[in-house]
Amino acid sequence: MPAPTLHDRALGAYLGFAIGDALGATVEFMTAAEIAHAYKGGHRNLTGGGWLRLKPGKVTDDTQMSLALGDALLAARGWDMNMVAAAFVGWMRSRPPDIGNTCRRGIRRYMLDGTLAAQPAEDSAGNGAAMRNLPLAIATLGSPGLLESCSVAQAHFTHNHPLSDAATLLLGRLTQILLHGGSLGDCRRCASAAIAQHPKFQFEPWPGNTSGYIVDTVQTVLHAFFRNDSVESCILDVVNRGGDADTAGAIVGQLAGARYGVQDIPARWHKQLDRGIVDRILRQTSALLALPRPLPLRPPAAAHPKTIRPLATAA
């Protein structure tokens, strides 16, 4: 097989993300023992269900917020935090099947006072900012400084916590290394540098926690990513651990898809994933790669609540 192209890797990352989300949603909040009992041989297919009672192949807020962020980047033809905020408002008003408390609080704050950043808070160390950053990793390829500044800006819209910032940047940097065709050794060095600054992210040996706390998510994702060798094995390893399986499954699918390319995604998963989501990802991936480099920036400005207009996004 020829080496994956940049487009193959970007599309693999986005589809892998959505598949990990849809697969993990079925077993979210279950324990590994409960999953093993319910699914002989492990949970392997996009069957829907779960606590959200999703139809087969449907995704959750992880993929939906990522697509909303991508919509904002494309509508602005660059980086415009006000456009990002409008996209998140439009997404919340579309009545998604689920929305995390910290994300809901941040979006509602913006709707009430027009501010673009939450105040620092200890309860903002969830994984909601890191889970939606993939479009920025694609759009800022070749501009690590822009990845950092824009990632932190979108993160602080809802999650303002040093560990959330560090995880969002680490996962974005790893994704860009892989999109450029970097090796697992390159990724190990990047992860080690982040762990040196934030020892809580140490993932070997794996501590065994699978909650929505960003530290647990980073540890679970990195542990599975570095010990598996395909998109399928990475995602199955993570989602069958349970807990916040949709978000962890999505993020490991992002990394594995960027590493192995869209060609490595099992055909059954591609067929089972919601066709509307697949079409949006296909269009958005190509369009994000075609954005100007470096990404043009528009300075942020607080909005008056009466002037806020949501950006139309598809749930």
Residue 114 scores a pLDDT above 60: yes
pLDDT value for 145: 97
Whether 46 maps to a domain, the answer reads no
pLDDT at 161: 98
Domain-located, residue 84: yes
213-216 long-range contacts, CB within 8 A, separation 24+: 213/125, 213/126, 213/127, 214/125, 214/126, 214/127, 214/130, 214/161, 214/163, 214/164, 214/167, 215/125, 215/163, 215/167, 216/243, 216/244
pLDDT of residue 304: 81
Residue 294, preceding peptide bond in cis (omega within 30° of 0)? yes
Point out the least confidently predicted range of 7-11, 30-34, 95-99. Answer: 95-99
| pLDDT at residue number 305 | 78
Model confidence at 308, in pLDDT bands (50, 70, 90)? Answer: confident
Q: Evaluate whether residue 205 is within a structural domain.
A: yes
Q: What pLDDT digit, counting tens, does each position of 267-281 carry?
A: 999 999 999 999 999
Instruction: Give the pLDDT score at 306.
Output: 73
Tell me if the pTM is above 0.85: yes
Share of the chain above pLDDT 90, in %: 94
Q: What is the CATH number of the domain that holds 80?
A: 1.10.4080.10
Examine residue 48 and state whether it is found in any structural domain, yes or no. no
pLDDT score, position 313: 72
pLDDT at 315 over 60: no
Q: Which domain holds residue 295?
A: 6-40+58-300
Is residue 49 a part of any domain in this protein?
no
Residue 150: inside a domain, yes or no?
yes
What values do phi and psi take at 232, rounded to 5? Answer: -60, -50
How far from chain centre, in Å, is Cα 195?
Answer: 20
The candidate with the shortest Cα–Cα distance to 12, out of 291, 287, 281, is 281
Confirm whether 129 is domain-assigned. Answer: yes
- Cα separations in angstroms, 107 against 75, 158, 208, 236, 307: 19, 7, 32, 32, 15
Alpha-carbon Rg for the chain in angstroms: 18
Question: What's the whole-number mean pLDDT along residues 90-105?
Answer: 95
Does any domain span residue 281? yes
The mean pLDDT of 93-108, rounded to a whole number, is: 95
**What's the structural domain count of the chain?**
1
**pLDDT score at 314:** 63
End-to-end Cα spacing for the chain? 36
pLDDT at residue 1 is higher than 90: no
